[in-house]
Amino acid sequence: MDRATETKKNNGMDLATELKKGNKRAAARLISMIENQDRKAEEILKDCWSHRTKSRIIGITGPPGSGKSTLVDQLAKHLLKEKKKIGIIAVDPTSPITGGAFLGDRVRMAELNGEPDIFIRSMGTRGALGGISKSVSGAVRVLEVLGMDDIFIETVGIGQSEVDVAGIADIVVLVTVPGMGDDIQTEKAGILEVADVIVVNKADHDGVRQAVQHLKALIVQNAEKMSVEAPIGIVSTVASSGFGIPELITAMEAHYLQKADSGAADQIRRDRIKQELLAQIQLRFWKEFEEYDRRNSAVDQRLGAIVSADANPYSEAVELLKEFMEWRRTENNY
Amino acid sequence: MDRATETKKNNGMDLATELKKGNKRAAARLISMIENQDRKAEEILKDCWSHRTKSRIIGITGPPGSGKSTLVDQLAKHLLKEKKKIGIIAVDPTSPITGGAFLGDRVRMAELNGEPDIFIRSMGTRGALGGISKSVSGAVRVLEVLGMDDIFIETVGIGQSEVDVAGIADIVVLVTVPGMGDDIQTEKAGILEVADVIVVNKADHDGVRQAVQHLKALIVQNAEKMSVEAPIGIVSTVASSGFGIPELITAMEAHYLQKADSGAADQIRRDRIKQELLAQIQLRFWKEFEEYDRRNSAVDQRLGAIVSADANPYSEAVELLKEFMEWRRTENNY
């Protein structure tokens, strides 16, 4: 395996040191290790925990085809001019089987990664129990250590995607396009509760004005659910030409400042770290349980009886957990 | 609380008995209990485990606006004429905050639930660690006990949605519409690996022929990844008028029969039950951990030090898990 060799070549200490120095290749390797659930990644992250920058985490969400990637690229280019260091994590709805990234993203990555102060990474949604959100959290951590000022997380949907940016981002930007159809319009009513800024992208297409008016009406209708101090911003953009990008940056900054002043940003940060702690607990639980199962074939032994309805999964789950705890105590190998 | 009263009124035994008799109201109540993580739901499901029908589980997936709901309604109406009993679980990208369902779905539910042999239920994606996929599994279980022949699970996207139908369905139907844009076309390359049938819906719109040809070309390009015995079916439909629905049913049945013959259906079933067992283990683990945390404020006590970088979440997770296990052993209250 190529990756295994790579991991060996870069032992824990070196990667941590390089990462703290801002080495992007070290960051890329560490993220690969996180994706491959390499135990050493954890050791390195542990070592770097106190070296994190207080990065702004910006969730960019919207349906496929709304132009999220182009928009993020434009934002990144503008923020680069302000001497910001930018990280981009693009969560791809890749194949659950091959886990491959898209050709389009590879091209994009090659282009943007050429900039010294940009780091961009695609992450696929590869099966397993909640694997991707843990990988994304880990990647955010890596980019914090790398010293990024702004970290963009690009993902499809809010509340329906496995990576729920609303739970981890300081600012949430929802990207829409004119004429998305009634059901999307309706869904927005829910999204209004978590979005800080709504972008109507492709504003050179028909129906922009109606889209903006519809959004404003939705906001008025749902006013009681929303923050009075920082009403949702609506910005029209044409990501492909850069139109509206400075306005979008201004809107994002206004929201971030408001959240920082009110203490909301600190609370979000605390919640984010709590989620990470809980995710680590779950990760470790499954690691240990899988080890137990590997040695005892505990799950497979019980599965037959459940399939044939001689046993049920509820009682068997209780028994398995009990047995695992007992095994863990007597083996005492953790 | 209304729901609590309802739960009390229908004690475990009654609901189980009613459910086995095919009482749809009992099913609706039990699903609400599952959504509310009512412990009694588990007892009832346990009691019913051996009374399940061998239902066919059909995943219907596609982007918002592709007409999934209308298509499922039409399929249900056709299958009703064949004397089938139909369950529909519509997974909604609802608000992560209010958890409310859409007005549209409520209207739809009222109409279809009037049919004696149809049961339809919307389920929202309410936060929490992987909550929705467990609720959907539970609802599938309820509908199996209710005796449904076909259970449809309607959800947005494959591999990107929290409810990954590819992991639980016997047949996966991907719904597309003509002219969805290039990025969706590219994403399909991954989806081809899990879809059994692809529907080009809204076939009265422009671009149907191109869409079908594009899909065929994609299938040819990706032929090596796909099943030789059961090539992906492509069916054009106009869900709003019913056009193409009988052809879609035929294509779905051909795929199901092929999977049943090859033993693939049994393997899918076994995997599904295994996932459910693992989900139950995780659920129980968190239930116990939360009880521990509630009594000891274990997480909050450690969070401050992690936020201030005096401690890191990796080591703290290990410690917390260890302490929890010790607590569980000494309290011995499970």
Q: Say how many Å lie between the first and final Cα of chain A, rounded.
A: 28
A contact residues 183-222, partner B, Cβ 8 Å cutoff: 183-184, 186-187, 189-191, 193-194
Per-domain boundaries in chain A = 1-50, 52-262, 277-331
User: Is B158 within 8 Å of B191 (Cβ atoms)?
Assistant: yes
ipTM: 0.77
pLDDT band at A99 (very low <50, low <70, confident <90, very high): very low
Taking the Cβ of residue A104 and every Cβ of chain B, the question of whether any pair is shorter than 8 Å is answered with yes
B280 contacts on A by Cβ (under 8 Å):
313-314, 316-317
Q: Which of B91, B96, B102 sits opposite A158 (nearest CB)?
A: B96
Q: How confident is the model at residue A190 (pLDDT cuts 50, 70, 90)?
A: low
Q: What is the reported pLDDT for B145?
A: 96
Mean pLDDT for chain B?
A: 82
Tokens of B117: 């042999």
pLDDT at residue A8, rounded to an integer: 46
Higher pLDDT among residues A314 and A159, named by residue: A314
B213-238 per-position pLDDT tens digit = 888 887 887 777 666 667 788 999 99
pLDDT (0 to 100) of residue A37: 80
Q: What is the dihedral of CA B306, B311, B313, B318, to 10 degrees?
A: -140
Nearest CA in chain B to A290: B278
Alpha-carbon dihedral B257, B261, B266, B268, rounded to 10 degrees = -60
pLDDT (tens digit per residue) in A274-330: 988 998 899 889 989 999 999 999 999 999 999 998 999 999 999 999 999 989 888
* pLDDT recorded at residue B91: 82
What whole-number distance in Å separates Cα of residue B30 and Cα of residue B19? Answer: 9
Q: Which residue of A has its CA nearest to B301?
A: A274
Tell whether B273 is within 8 A of chain A (Cβ): yes
* Whether B226 contacts chain A with CB within 8 A: no
Grade residue A100 by pLDDT with cuts at 50, 70 and 90: very low
Q: What is the mean pLDDT of residues B292-308?
A: 93
Winning range, highest mean pLDDT, from A131-135, A137-141, B192-196, B328-332: A137-141
- Say whether residue B46 is in contact with chain A using an 8 A CB cutoff: yes
Taking contacts as CB-CB distances below 8 angstroms, the residues of chain A near B331 are none
Closest-CA distance of chain B to residue A56, Å = 15
Question: Which residues of chain A are within 8 Å of residue B316 when distances are taken between CB atoms?
Answer: 277, 280
Kindly list the residues from chain B whose CB atom is less than 8 angstroms away from the CB atom of residue A64: 63, 181, 183-184, 187
pLDDT in tens, B131-145: 567 788 889 999 999
What pLDDT does A305 receive?
A: 94
Q: How far is A42 from chain B (nearest CA, A)?
A: 7
- Say which CATH superfamily domain B52-262 falls into: P-loop containing nucleotide triphosphate hydrolases (3.40.50.300)
Task: Supply the pLDDT for residue B1.
Answer: 42
Q: What is the pLDDT of residue A25?
A: 93
Mean pLDDT on A222-243: 82
pLDDT, tens digit (0-9, with 9 covering 90-100), for B144-176: 999 999 999 998 755 445 456 777 899 999 888
Q: Let me know: does B135 contact B34? Beta carbons within 8 Å.
A: yes
Residue B49 scores a pLDDT above 70: yes
Asked whether the beta carbons of residue B96 and residue A315 sit closer than 8 angstroms, the reply is no
Residue in A150, A153, A108, A146 with CA at minimum distance from that of residue A24: A146
pTM of the model: 0.73
Mark residue B107 as left, alpha or beta (left: phi above 0; alpha: psi -120 to 50; beta: remaining).
alpha
Touching A: B residues 234-253, CB under 8 Å: none
Instruction: Determine the residue of chain A that is closest to B94 in CA distance.
Output: A190
What percentage of residues in chain B have a pLDDT greater than 70? Answer: 78
* Packing angle of the helix pair A264-296, A298-307 (nearest 10 deg): 90
Res A4 pLDDT > 90: no
What element of type H or E holds A72? helix A68-81
User: What six digits make up the tokens of B115?
Assistant: 């049919």
The tens digit of pLDDT for each residue in A8-40 reads: 455 555 899 999 999 999 999 999 998 888 889
**Cα distance between residue A334 and residue A325, in whole Å:** 12
B201-217 pLDDT tens trace: 999 988 888 888 888 88
Q: Which two tokens stand for residue A174?
A: 């929802």
Mean of the pLDDT values across residues B238-255?
A: 95
Residue A110: pLDDT band (50, 70, 90) is low
The model's confidence at residue A179, banded by pLDDT at 50, 70 and 90, is: confident
CB-based contact (8 Å) between A106 and chain B? no
Q: Does B96 or B20 have the greater pLDDT score?
A: B20
Distance CA B259, CA B248 (A): 17
For the residues of B200-232, what is the DSSP string, one character each? E--TTSTTHHHHHHHHHHHHHHTGGGS-SSSPP
Cβ separation A309–B50 shorter than 8 A: yes
Paired residues of B151 in beta bridges: B57, B87
Q: Do the chains contact at B315 and A46, CB–CB below 8 Å? A: yes
Do B97 and A194 count as a contact with CB atoms less than 8 A apart? yes
At B1 the three-state DSSP class reads: coil
* pLDDT of B29 higher than 70: yes
Quickly state the pLDDT bin for B10 (edges 50, 70, 90): low
- Angle, nearest 10°, between helix axes A264-296 and A313-331? 90
pLDDT at A109: 66
Average pLDDT over residues A159-166: 60
Note whether A68 and A80 are within 8 A (CB): no
Q: Which residues contact residue B110 at a Cβ distance below 8 angstroms, ignoring those fewer than 6 apart? A: none
pLDDT > 90 in chain A, percent: 46
Strand B171-176 to strand A56-61: parallel, antiparallel, or no bridges (unpaired)?
A: unpaired
